[in-house]
């Protein structure tokens, strides 16, 4: 693992006090990630943001004003608060008509920004205008404007003076509706502050789903009313024997709101019927033998299962799914379903169908790991493809080839039955796989996932042959068997998660590794200011 050069931050900080000084890192050439659908930059004639630049939200719709306040909070500290020329205020959010000299955020019925999350952004000397059909589109326009501003805008308490924005016309919309990151808070517990930080970094790159892996053999991580032992007993361990922990109901509700403020939907996962040992430690009667169990702090998988043939199991799941569904405004509930090694196929299939019915009864849509492809499901289920198989469809080894074809056939069968797919191939975008042989953290059972590997994949004949619309998105899981701190989380996620964000958002024609890696290298000054502990790989940072 290579570490970040902290000296750089000090150099930047030292320019802070002087007003009107040209930014140390000019905003041009721009380095936008994800790359927008179209961007036409002018040679000159940009806009200058000062402490007196108003943010105007014509019509004043609440959700659009809230996006204006996000922008005000971003640029306020840099150009306003404490600045010698300033009124010591953040730029004001007004709700009157558009005017010159302003940053205008407008909800509009303009036809070319009506796709979900689409926006248009124009920067010219007279002002900045972001237009969208939805507040989400305005938010993504603001994130693009943020990347057009010099990285110093990220300081929360520095006086950096007016900020230059290059002149540009951008029209943008995402490729996929589901652009996700998964955080395993079960193997090692990560609490509110760590998850907030992850959400903040996701928002900068237009990711819009946070999948929380809330339970596993090593720990149960969310309070369920009526089942106190899940947390007083089941949450008190983690891999390696640390103290564990859990999200209280208030914590979970707070995170759902914090994510929603960033247009990110939380997708809760309770992994079942396997990966459930921690719940069985708390409630041995949920197992078929009823025997007391010791907490498990290792990293084996596949050994635990709920007793799928007793009704008490489904009463338990009804409470758990119901409690989380009631606190989750998003449409989805993830039932896990992976790596069950102690049940017959019939037992597994019956269980998954009953879990599916409970999810539906609580008003949510089912998501599960790709093992559930082997079970007949209601139309509209979502499968998360994690097990590498499409490279093996042409493997010289016939047994491997046969396994891959069986896997592919099950997935295609599910798609024909109305299922959607999220791509999370372990051999490309599992962020817990080591980057290379020098990576101290992480595992390597799916190989090394280099920064290029995590970006440059996905256009394969098998995926291309799927019906239009079958793939709804991409999600990068970060399992935490070897990850115990926020610094470790960030070192594994960054920069690879950024490549996943671009693959999820940018249209296929704009994906290009050589172009991307230059834009990626240019994110580093912003990350230094944000304090993000990214892994500085030579294939990117020796190239700039
Ligand atoms: C998984 O990696 N077991 C989904």
Q: What is the CATH number of the domain that holds 140?
A: 3.30.379.10
Identify the domain boundary among 172, 189, 206.
Answer: 172
Question: Same structural domain for residues 161 and 285?
Answer: no
How close is the Cα of 374 to the center of ligand 1, in Å? Answer: 16
CA distances from 218 to 83, 249, 264, 413 (A): 50, 20, 27, 34
Q: What is the pLDDT of residue 213?
A: 99
**Ligand 1 contacts CB of residue 338 (under 6 A):** yes
R_g of the chain, CA atoms, integer Å:
24
Q: What is the pLDDT of residue 159?
A: 62
Question: Same structural domain for residues 247 and 209?
Answer: yes
Give me the residues of the chain with pLDDT under 70, please.
1-29, 77-91, 157-160, 543-544
Entry pTM: 0.93
| Residue with CA at minimum distance from ligand 1 atom 2 | 386
Task: Give the count of domains, the chain.
Answer: 2
Q: Does the residue 427 lie in any domain?
A: yes
**Ligand 1 contacts CB of residue 370 (under 6 A):** no
**Ligand 1 contacts CB of residue 339 (under 6 A):** yes
Q: Does the residue 215 lie in any domain?
A: yes
**Ligand 1 contacts CB of residue 430 (under 6 A):** no
Q: What is the pLDDT of residue 28?
A: 54
How close is the Cα of 386 to the center of ligand 1, in Å? Answer: 6
Question: Same structural domain for residues 185 and 219?
Answer: yes
Q: What is the pLDDT of residue 52?
A: 81
Q: Does the residue 3 lie in any domain?
A: no
Residue-number span of the structural domain to which 82 is assigned: 8-172
Q: pLDDT tens-digit profile of 493-521?
A: 999 999 999 999 999 999 999 999 999 99
Q: Does the residue 458 lie in any domain?
A: yes
CA distances from 498 to 78, 181, 229 (A): 25, 10, 38
Question: Same structural domain for residues 206 and 159?
Answer: no
Residue with tokens 């502050």: 193
Q: Does the residue 393 lie in any domain?
A: yes
Identify the domain boundary among 172, 207, 236.
Answer: 172
Is the distance from CB of 516 to CB of 33 less than 8 angstroms?
Answer: yes
Question: Same structural domain for residues 29 and 45?
Answer: yes
Q: What is the pLDDT of residue 248?
A: 98
Q: Does the residue 537 lie in any domain?
A: no
| Residue with CA at minimum distance from ligand 1 atom 3 | 338
Q: What is the pLDDT of residue 4?
A: 34
- DSSP per-residue codes, 264-282: -EEEEEEEESSS-HHHHHH
Question: Same structural domain for residues 491 and 350?
Answer: yes
CA torsion angle 157 259 455 407 (round to 10): 160
The pair of structure tokens assigned to 215 is 């339970």
Question: Same structural domain for residues 307 and 366?
Answer: yes
Question: Same structural domain for residues 144 and 199?
Answer: no
**Ligand 1 contacts CB of residue 369 (under 6 A):** yes
Return the CATH number at 252.
Answer: 3.20.20.80
Q: What is the pLDDT of residue 459?
A: 87
Question: Same structural domain for residues 143 and 239?
Answer: no
Q: Does the residue 284 lie in any domain?
A: yes
Question: Same structural domain for residues 249 and 155?
Answer: no
CA distances from 419 to 177, 378, 381, 383, 464 (A): 15, 8, 5, 7, 16
Identify the domain boundary among 172, 205, 227.
Answer: 172
Neighbours of 21 (CB within 10 A): 12
Q: What is the pLDDT of residue 11?
A: 30
Residue 275 gets which letter from DSSP? S
How close is the Cα of 212 to the center of ligand 1, in Å? Answer: 13
Question: Same structural domain for residues 289 and 332?
Answer: yes
Q: Does the residue 536 lie in any domain?
A: no
Question: Same structural domain for residues 477 and 380?
Answer: yes
Rounded CA separation 102/52 (Å):
9
């Amino acid at each position: 693992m290579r570490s970040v050069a902290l000296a750089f931050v000090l150099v930047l900080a030292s320019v802070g006090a002087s007003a009107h000084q040209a930014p140390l890192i000019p905003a041009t050439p721009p380095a936008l990630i994800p790359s927008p659908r179209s961007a036409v930059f002018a040679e000159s004639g940009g806009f200058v943001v000062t402490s007196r630049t108003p943010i105007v939200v014509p019509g004043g719709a609440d959700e659009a004003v809230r996006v204006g306040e996000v922008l005000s909070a971003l640029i306020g500290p840099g150009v306003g608060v404490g600045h010698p020329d300033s009124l010591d205020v953040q730029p004001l959010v007004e709700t009157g008509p558009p005017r010159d000299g302003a940053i205008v955020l407008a909800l509009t019925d303009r036809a070319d920004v009506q796709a979900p999350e689409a926006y248009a952004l124009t920067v010219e000397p007279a002002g900045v205008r972001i237009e969208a059909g939805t507040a989400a589109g305005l938010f993504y326009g603001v994130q693009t404007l943020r990347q057009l501003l010099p990285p110093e805008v990220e300081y929360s308490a520095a006086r950096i003076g007016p900020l230059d924005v290059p002149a540009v016309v951008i029209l943008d919309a995402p490729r996929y509706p589901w652009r996700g990151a998964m955080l395993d808070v079960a193997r090692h517990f990560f609490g509110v502050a760590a998850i907030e930080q992850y959400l903040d970094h996701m928002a900068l790159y237009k990711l819009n789903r946070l999948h929380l892996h809330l339970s596993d053999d090593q720990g149960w991580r969310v309070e369920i009313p009526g089942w106190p032992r899940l947390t007083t007993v089941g949450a008190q361990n983690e891999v390696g024997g640390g103290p564990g922990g859990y999200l209280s109901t208030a914590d979970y509700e707070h995170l759902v709101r914090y994510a929603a403020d960033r247009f990110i939907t939380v997708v809760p996962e309770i992994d079942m019927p396997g990966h459930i040992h921690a719940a069985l430690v708390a409630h041995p009667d949920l197992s078929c033998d009823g025997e007391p169990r010791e907490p498990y702090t290792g990293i084996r998988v596949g050994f635990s299962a709920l007793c799928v043939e007793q009704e008490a199991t489904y009463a338990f799941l009804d409470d758990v799914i119901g409690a989380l569904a009631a606190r989750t405004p998003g449409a989805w509930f993830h039932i896990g379903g992976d790596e069950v090694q102690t049940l017959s196929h019939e037992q597994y299939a019956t269980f998954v169908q009953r879990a599916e019915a409970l999810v539906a009864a609580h008003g949510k849509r089912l998501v599960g790991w790709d093992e559930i492809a082997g079970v007949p499901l209601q139309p509209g289920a979502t499968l998360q493809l994690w097990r590498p198989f499409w490279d093996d469809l042409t493997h010289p080894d016939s047994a491997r080839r046969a396994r891959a074809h069986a896997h592919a056939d099950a997935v295609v069968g599910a798609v024909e039955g109305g299922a959607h797919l999220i791509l999370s191939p372990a051999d490309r975008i599992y962020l817990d796989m080591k980057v290379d042989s020098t990576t101290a953290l992480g595992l390597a059972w799916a190989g090394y996932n280099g920064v290029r590997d995590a970006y440059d994949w996905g256009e394969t004949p098998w995926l291309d042959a799927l019906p239009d619309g079958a793939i709804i998105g991409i999600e990068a899981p970060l399992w935490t068997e070897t990850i115990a701190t926020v610094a470790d989380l960030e070192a594994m996620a960054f920069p690879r998660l950024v490549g996943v964000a671009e693959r999820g958002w940018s249209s296929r024609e704009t994906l290009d590794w050589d172009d991307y890696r230059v834009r990626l290298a240019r994110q580093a000054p912003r990350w230094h200011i944000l304090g993000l502990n990214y892994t500085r790989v030579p294939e990117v940072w020796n190239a700039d």
